Amino acid sequence: MAGQGDVAGVTERVPEDPGEPLAESERVSRLLDRIGDPTVREVPLPNLPESARLARQLTGSVLQLRWALPAHLTEHAVLLVSELVGNAVRHTGAHTIGLRMLRRTGWIRVEVRDPSRGLPCLLPVGDLDTSGRGLFLVDTLSDRWGVDLLPRGKTTWFEMRRTD
C-alpha cells in the first residue's frame, strides 16, 4: 500500500470543470497522468468519500475508452467499483485505498485493497432498505467476486466476463 504522501492532494488534481472541451482520449490521458493508471500499477486513493468518484472516473475511462468494452459492462463495473471503494472508506479506517484493474482473455478484474483484515459480509437486502446494498450489487452484477487476505489487509475484487 502506498504511503500517505503519495495521495496527498489527489482530489485537487482532477478539475471538476476542465474549461475547454478536450477530446475524450486527451481527457483520459490527462486523468491517468494525474492520478495514475490502475492497469499499470495500484493507484492509491485517499480515505475520503470523493475517492469513490475518482475510482468511477478511472474505471469508466479505462474500460470504455482504453479497452473499448461495451457500455453496459462499463456501467456495471463503474457502479461496483464505487461500492467497493465506498465500503473501504466507510468501514476500514484506512489512510489509503488501492485500485487496480486487470484484463485477461474473456475477463476483466477490478481490485480494491485496504489495510483492514475485516471481511465484508453479504447481508440479505429488503425492498425498503436504504443502505447495505453494496455487496448485494457486487454479487448480482459481477460474474465472480471475493476477498484475498493479505499479511496486512485484504483485496476485495470482482470479475466480469468480457462480451467482445
Answer yes or no: is 17 within a domain.
no
Q: Which residues are within 8 A (CB) of 85 and not within 5 positions of it... i.e. 6 or more apart? A: 45, 51, 52, 55, 97, 99, 112
Q: Tell me, what's the pLDDT at 93?
A: 83
Q: Which residues are within 8 A (CB) of 114 and not within 5 positions of it... i.e. 6 or more apart? A: 1, 88, 92, 94, 97, 98, 153, 154, 156
Q: Tell me, what's the pLDDT at 104?
A: 93
Phi and psi at 57, nearest 5°, equal -60, -45
What does the pLDDT average to over 106-123?
A: 92
What residues pair up with 46 in beta bridges, in sequence order?
96
Answer yes or no: is 50 within a domain.
yes
Answer yes or no: is 8 within a domain.
no
- Which range of residues forms the domain containing residue 145? 23-161
Look at residue 140 and tell me whether its pLDDT is greater than 90: yes
Q: What is the pLDDT of residues 36-86, one digit of tens each?
A: 999 999 999 999 989 999 999 999 999 988 899 999 999 999 999 999 999
Answer yes or no: is 153 within a domain.
yes
Rounded to two decimals, the pTM is: 0.81
Local confidence band at 132 (pLDDT 50, 70, 90 cut-offs): low
* Of 66 and 17, more confident: 66
Answer yes or no: is 14 within a domain.
no
As for how many domains the chain has, the answer is 1
* Of 144 and 131, more confident: 144
DSSP H helical segments within 61-153, as ranges? 71-91, 134-141
What does the pLDDT average to over 129-143?
A: 82
Q: Which residues of 124-139 are buried (b: 16+ CB within 10 A; e: fewer)?
A: ebeeeeeeeebbebbe
Answer yes or no: is 125 within a domain.
yes
Q: Tell me, what's the pLDDT at 3?
A: 45
Q: Tell me, what's the pLDDT at 22?
A: 61
Answer yes or no: is 39 within a domain.
yes
Answer yes or no: is 75 within a domain.
yes
Q: What is the CATH number of the domain that holds 141?
A: 3.30.565.10
